[in-house]
Amino acid sequence: MAFIYFAVRDNLTTDSDVILGQYMLAFPAIMEGYRTVNLVDSDNRSLSPASLLVHIAFKDVGDYWSPE
């Protein structure tokens, strides 16, 4: 199974690449169009109202990729 991982990072602080929020989706659960991805912290607690607005579009890549 494939997953897509979203992460919001802060690379301007003294710690390198601090993750401010994140979310992971299973690829089969993703639908095309504009979607809201609600962010969670490292303990999987909601960071509401923090979210990402993403546009998902699937395109045929022909012979360049095969699921087998």
Residue 66 domain-assigned?
A: no
pLDDT the model gives residue 7: 95
Residue 39 domain-assigned?
A: yes
Q: Which two tokens stand for residue 57?
A: 């579009």
CA dist., res. 46 & res. 67, Å (int): 33
Whether 37 shows a pLDDT value over 70: the answer reads yes
Residue 36 domain-assigned?
A: yes
pTM: 0.73
Tally of domains in the chain: 1
CA dist., res. 30 & res. 61, Å (int): 18
- In this predicted model, what pLDDT tens digit does every residue of 3-23 receive, in sequence order? 999 999 987 776 677 889 999
Query: Which range of residues forms the domain containing residue 19?
Result: 3-61
